[in-house]
Amino acid sequence: MRNGVRFAGGQKGISTDALIDTLAGDLSATPVPSVRRTLALAFAFGSAVSAAAMLELLGLRPDMASALATASFWIKLIFPFGLAVAGLMAVDRLGRPGAAAGRGYAVGIAVAGTMALLASVQLATAPRDAIRPLLLGHTLDHCTALIMLLALPILAAGMYAMRQMAPTRLRLAGAAVGVTAGALSASIYAIACDETALPFVTLWYGAGIALTGVLGALLGPRLLRW
Amino acid sequence: MDVSAPNPPLDALMIAAQAGDEAAYRALLKALAATLRSYFARRLGRDASVEDLVQDTLIAIHERRATYDPQRPFAAWFFAIARYKLIDHLRAARRSASSPVEEIEDIAGADEETPASARLDLERLLDGLPQRSRDIVRTVKIEGQSVAEVSLRSGLSPTAIRVLLHRAVKAMSAKVGNSRR
């Protein structure tokens, strides 16, 4: 079979040697954009759509001016953003055949662990009757759902970018895109949300990010085949 | 990474290819084709699909060449792609016991004696394809025109046409496989 596939009508198809000639000739004819650039553009575009949707649907938190001076505002922004950085590191690796996502996991675990620690400290030092509001806040009915909703444009753009790459573990690659989308969305949502309790943020922002990750894992094998 | 260690030849060829060196790329693809042929043959035995799989994998390597990170070993990247393509092939093969690709080509290659029902099946399969792919399958596989002719007329590069053709046949075989289940 060295001479390649047989095509319809008994005529000879492309031999592998001819294919190699074609591909080699195509090398400089079709330059391929850098993988990192494609990823960066896609996630930036998705985040811009998501931020516009946030401003349109929710607006900035009412106490924005005074919130800028509080630690909880910045922690709420930095926690999901740290997870997004970890997610992007994993996405960059999982989109390349033969690479493991090692460092992305480490950063993600460090960020989530730090956040859980801060939340535990706040819980441990709170008076007994303050614990419930610290955990449940006052926006529990829509917080997680809105983070997932705002993640959708980022998830779509991220999946599009991942399709240009070459993931070999599709479920894992999908999950990494999902976590990144959820984490970027949570950073955007943090600007509209006036919750201040760290346990609330850890639990329910975390849930929004994790569920978007699950959604990505479910979609991965369907969307990312190549 | 240790910069003083000399790169294995394939890594060097790939890096040169990524910088646009066509000769290096051609040499690399030749070497990879031979490696792939024995890699797939060892796992599939004397199977007619080995050469198809070699070509499919070479096209994949070409299209996804930007995902190779020059700081990492080339062999890991290359064999991960070969393995992915092999698994994909085995999965598709398991879905239908017979080889659907050949079957489609038999249908497509049939002449006047083709029963009307086979023609209808073919039309239905073709309908599931995007317009451009459908036209290419028609002109190349059914009317028997060469890729070069179609390339001249459509303005698409021969690679693009071969890739579209390849994909279209794959999509059609997947459909045949699915309806069998």
pLDDT of residue B176: 67
pLDDT, tens digit, for every residue of A16-34? 888 998 899 888 877 778 8
Instruction: Note the ipTM here.
Output: 0.82
Between residues A87 and B157, which one has the greater pLDDT? A87
Q: How many angstroms separate the Cα of B59 from the Cα of each of A18, A31, A36, B65, B172?
A: 12, 15, 22, 10, 19
Three-class SS string for B153-171?
HHCCCHHHHHHHHHHHHHH
The ranges of chain B annotated as CATH 1.10.1740.10 are: 9-95
pLDDT value at A47 more than 90: yes
* CA triple B46-B52-B58, angle to 5 deg: 120
Q: What is the mean pLDDT of residues A145-173?
A: 96
The ranges of chain B annotated as CATH 1.10.10.10 are: 100-180
Angle between helices A35-57 and A71-94 (to 10 degrees): 140
CATH architecture designation of domain B100-180: Orthogonal Bundle (1.10)
Select the residue from B14, B15, B55, B147 to test the A interface by mutation, using most A Cβ atoms within 10 A.
B55
Tell if the CB–CB gap between A32 and B66 is shorter than 8 Å.
Answer: yes
Positions in chain B short of pLDDT 50 = 1-7, 104-114, 180-181
pLDDT of residue B85: 94
Tell if the CB–CB gap between B81 and A29 is shorter than 8 Å.
Answer: no
Instruction: Name residues whose C-beta falls within 8 Å of residue B147's C-beta, 6 or more positions apart in sequence.
Output: A14, B140, B158, B161, B162, B165
Q: Domain ranges in chain A?
A: 1-31, 34-223
Closest residue on chain B to A37 (Cα): B66
Q: How far apart are the first and last CA of chain A?
A: 25
Look at residue B83 and give its three-state secondary structure: helix
Cα radius of gyration (chain A) = 22
Nearest to A16 among B33, B67, B141 (CB): B33
Backbone angles phi, psi at A6, to 5 degrees: -95, 135
Cα radius of gyration (chain B) = 19
Q: Residue A124's beta-bridge partner residues?
A: none
Instruction: Looking at the complex, report in whole angstroms how far the Cα of residue A118 sits from the nearest Cα belonging to chain B.
Output: 37
Fold (CATH) for B9-95: Rna Polymerase Sigma Factor; Chain: A (1.10.1740)
pLDDT of residue A8: 36
Instruction: Report yes or no: B33 at the A interface, CB cutoff 8 Å.
Output: yes
Instruction: Report yes or no: B95 at the A interface, CB cutoff 8 Å.
Output: no
Three-class SS string for A81-141?
HHHHHHHHHHHHHHCCCCCCCHHHHHHHHHHHHHHHHHHHHHHHCCCHHHHHHHHHCCCCC
Average pLDDT, chain A: 90
Backbone angles phi, psi at B146, to 5 degrees: -85, 160
Q: Residue B174's beta-bridge partner residues?
A: none
DSSP A15-65: -HHHHHHHHHHHTTTSPPPPHHHHHHHHHHHHHHHHHHHHHHHT-S-TTHH
